[in-house]
Amino acid sequence: MSYKLRYALFFIIDSCIVLSAIFMSYWLLHPFINGYSDKVILFSAVTLLVSHHIAAYFFHLYDRMWSVASVRELLTISYAVTISVATASCIQFIIKNDIYFRVMAVTWMLHIIMIGGSRFLLRVLNDKESFRDTSNLKRVLIVGAGQGGLMLARNLKHAPNPDRIPVVFVDDDVNKQQLKVMDVIVAGTTKAIPALVAKYGIDEIIIAIPSLGRIGIKSIYEDCAETKLPVKVMPSIEDVMTGKVAVNEMKEVQIEDLLGRDEVKLDMVAISNKLTNKVILVTGAGGSIGSEICRQVMSFQPKQLILLGHGENSIYTIHMDLQQRSLGSIDLVPIIADVQDRDRIFEVVKQYQPDVIYHAAAHKHVPLMEYNPHEAVKNNIFGTKNVAEAAHEFGVGNFVMISTDKAVNPPNVMGATKRVAEMVVQNLAKESDTNFAAVRFGNVLGSRGSVIPLFKKQIVAGGPVTVTHPDMTRYFMTIPEASKLVLQAGTLGGDGEIFVLDMGEPVKIVDLACNLIHLSGFSEDEIKIEFSGLRPGEKMFEELLNKEEIQEEHIFPGIHIGQAVALPSYELNSLLETIAVSIDVSSKKKLIDIANNKITKEYQI
């Protein structure tokens, strides 16, 4: 219907209502008196008609979309009616020096009922959900009967091509119990989810509490897990309001949502001061951690971003990805180089004069490094030494090394080499104008060395999912978290500190496997879990800081600082010479002995 036609239709409908309502009121109060013979009523009717159309114009009663009207629109009708009735009452007083109060009161009420009813009829006719066959739609249980739940229920009910229908709410607010939201009952708390799923024949659960953090999601998911139904999360209201996503674009609960702690918030101003319009170099830029660091750095608009890595395909991939993101606004420089090549690293740092270096290049796979200890030493120790000394030599402002929790009391080659690399950085910090720091990660979900990709492949293949030991625990963080921690550390340290994320409680690997099986829509009966035993170099439990390193206070919300014990320079140099000799003579046994005994026992680190 065109705008003019709709406007004319509402004009005619309201005219009929206004002219008839006052005579109906008069008749209701004086059924045996002819109202048409009362000149006051006739003048009042004309006044009502004129004043109503004037008020309707100012309150836009004829150009609103009444098919989606709400309480606010009903209030505008009451404002317009009140003004027109008050105007007519004034005319009565002028004509007769009196006001028919009862007649005008009933007239006001009839106007509200009849005009509001005409609009409400359009609202009902537009409510297709009332006449829709919902038998083939997914029946949804919504967690959260607040603003997010209301928005989601309304969207699901009024979607033009719906695939879901809200059936029941749950909410832990006792004041909402047994109330209805969008005609959907709040039937219990989150603890009642399994029983309500069975009672109402639910097909899907949606968590509609956009402000809920990981701790809350994990708690609710535990209540949902035994139902074995898909569990999804509504996007944030901010993303919905800004148009990034639609209300009904739910995301799956991810394994990182079940870590049981919220992400660390960054000091954006401090990081921006370090990165904006600066030259940044990232080693290992093609790796899972290095590439995410590059993406995070990009958001701060550096002058130049140097992508250094040994694998040409991975550097090509991240270079193409970042080019599409920046659209040419940032100078991206792909560099193929090996951190073990000292001359090449010095050449790159001298040429580009970076303000900040993030050193992510390393060999990280524990069992592989047990089989290839020489490569771990060359890459992790001497590669780090090359990049760090180049930073010192050419006056780089900040150097941040990515380390690992496996550097604490290391029982394996990988952890031992990373601990020695930390000591290299710590010793340089004592004599250099460059600000040196290290960041220790736990296990990074989704990285190339993570168990998650392996578990997912095993689940797709029908199982079994292999876990090394039922009691093995690890600290976990996401790739974006790890990268953000690196950026924040670059603003906090400078004297060889070691930064560690407050990662909450360690997670059992077997629990992680169970959660991933459930998120994939299976049970442990369908996808079996088998225990394969510890692999070479693996620890049962990981530590982030040892007793000598721990400092209880947070230097930044969610970030601990540890002052790890460093060797005197002459002892460190002697150790490096010993390790270098062991490489030359290719004695794997001797190298492992140095890693496991020389470092951990003789030097007690």
pTM greater than 0.85: no
**Tell me, what's the pLDDT at 294?**
93
Does one domain contain both 159 and 241? yes
**Tell me, what's the pLDDT at 346?**
97
**Tell me, what's the pLDDT at 119?**
74
Residue 94 banded pLDDT, cuts 50, 70, 90: confident
List all residues 6 or more positions away from 192 whose beta carbon is below 8 Å from its beta carbon: 170
**CA 490 – CA 519 distance, rounded (Å):** 36
Give the ranges where 436-503 is alpha helix by DSSP (H): 451-460, 479-492
CB distance 421 to 380 below 8 Å? yes
Residue 485 has pLDDT above 50, yes or no: yes
The backbone torsions φ and ψ at residue 16, rounded to the nearest 5 degrees and listed phi first, read -60, -45
Does one domain contain both 383 and 464? yes
Q: Roughly how many angstroms between the first and final C-alpha of the chain, as a whole number? A: 80
Average pLDDT over residues 330-336: 94
Query: What are the tens digits of pLDDT across the range 574-586?
Result: 878 877 766 654 4
Higher pLDDT, 147 or 319: 319
Given the residues 157, 378, 385, 406, select the one marked as catalytic.
406
Name 400's bridge partners: 358, 437
Does one domain contain both 208 and 343? no
**Tell me, what's the pLDDT at 605?**
40
Q: Is residue 587 part of a domain?
A: yes
The CATH number for 206's domain is 3.40.50.720
Domain end residue (candidates: 126, 158, 175) = 126
Higher pLDDT, 438 or 451: 438
**CA 215 – CA 536 distance, rounded (Å):** 34
Q: Is residue 46 part of a domain?
A: yes
Return the H-helix or E-strand segment holding 221: helix 214-225
Higher pLDDT, 482 or 338: 338
Please indicate whether residue 484 is annotated as part of the active site: no
Does one domain contain both 232 and 354? no
Q: Is residue 216 part of a domain?
A: yes
Does one domain contain both 153 and 230? yes
Residue 600 banded pLDDT, cuts 50, 70, 90: very low
User: Any idea which of 268-282, 329-343, 511-525 has the lowest mean pLDDT?
Assistant: 511-525
Does one domain contain both 336 and 420? yes
User: Any idea which of 485-489, 551-555, 585-589 has the lowest mean pLDDT?
Assistant: 585-589
Domain end residue (candidates: 104, 126, 148) = 126
CB distance 523 to 461 below 8 Å? no
Average pLDDT over residues 449-461: 76
Percent of the chain at pLDDT > 70 equals: 75
Q: Is residue 263 part of a domain?
A: no
Q: What size, in residues, is the chain?
A: 605
**CA 214 – CA 445 distance, rounded (Å):** 15
CB distance 283 to 387 below 8 Å? yes
Cis before 464 (ω within 30): yes
Q: Taking the CA atoms of 47, 49, 50 and 53 in sequence, report the sign of the dihedral they define.
A: positive
The domain tally of the chain equals: 3
Average pLDDT over residues 336-355: 95
Helix, strand, coil content of the chain in percent (nearest 5): 50, 15, 35
Residue 316 banded pLDDT, cuts 50, 70, 90: very high
Does one domain contain both 44 and 161? no
CB distance 482 to 296 below 8 Å? no
User: Any idea which of 11-20, 97-106, 325-334, 533-542 has the lowest mean pLDDT?
Assistant: 533-542
Domain residue limits at 150:
131-253
Average pLDDT over residues 348-357: 95
Among 233-242, 339-348, 430-439, the range of highest mean pLDDT: 339-348
Residue 392 has pLDDT above 90, yes or no: yes
Does one domain contain both 303 and 418? yes
Domain end residue (candidates: 126, 159, 189) = 126
Q: Is residue 258 part of a domain?
A: no
Token reading at 220: 């609710």
Residue 387 has pLDDT above 80, yes or no: yes
Measured CA angle at 311 (ends 310, 315), to 5 deg = 100
Does one domain contain both 25 and 151? no
Residue 408: HSE in the Cβ half-sphere, 13 Å Cα cutoff: 23
Q: Is residue 291 part of a domain?
A: yes
CB distance 76 to 60 below 8 Å? yes
Residue 502 banded pLDDT, cuts 50, 70, 90: low
Does one domain contain both 104 and 163? no
Does one domain contain both 152 and 297? no
Query: What are the tens digits of pLDDT across the range 393-415?
Result: 999 999 999 988 787 777 778 88
Pairing of the two strands 559-562 and 554-556 = antiparallel
Residue 353 has pLDDT above 90, yes or no: yes
Does one domain contain both 117 and 147? no
Q: Is residue 97 part of a domain?
A: yes
Residue 92 has pLDDT above 60, yes or no: yes
Q: Is residue 208 part of a domain?
A: yes
Query: What are the tens digits of pLDDT across the range 165-189?
Result: 888 998 888 888 888 887 788 888 8
Residue 603 has pLDDT above 50, yes or no: no
**Tell me, what's the pLDDT at 339?**
95
Average pLDDT over residues 264-283: 84
Average pLDDT over residues 459-463: 83
List all residues 6 or more positions away from 204 whose beta carbon is below 8 Å from its beta carbon: 138, 139, 140, 141, 164, 229, 230, 231, 232
For 8-47, give the DSSP string: HHHHHHHHHHHHHHHHHHHHHH-TTS-GGG-HHHHHHHHH
**Tell me, what's the pLDDT at 69?**
58
**Tell me, what's the pLDDT at 550?**
52
Alpha carbon separation from 331 to 255, 279, 426, 585 (Å, rounded)? 35, 9, 32, 44
Hey, what amino acid is at 423?
A: M
Query: What are the tens digits of pLDDT across the range 409-440?
Result: 777 788 888 888 988 998 898 888 999 988 88
**CA 9 – CA 15 distance, rounded (Å):** 10
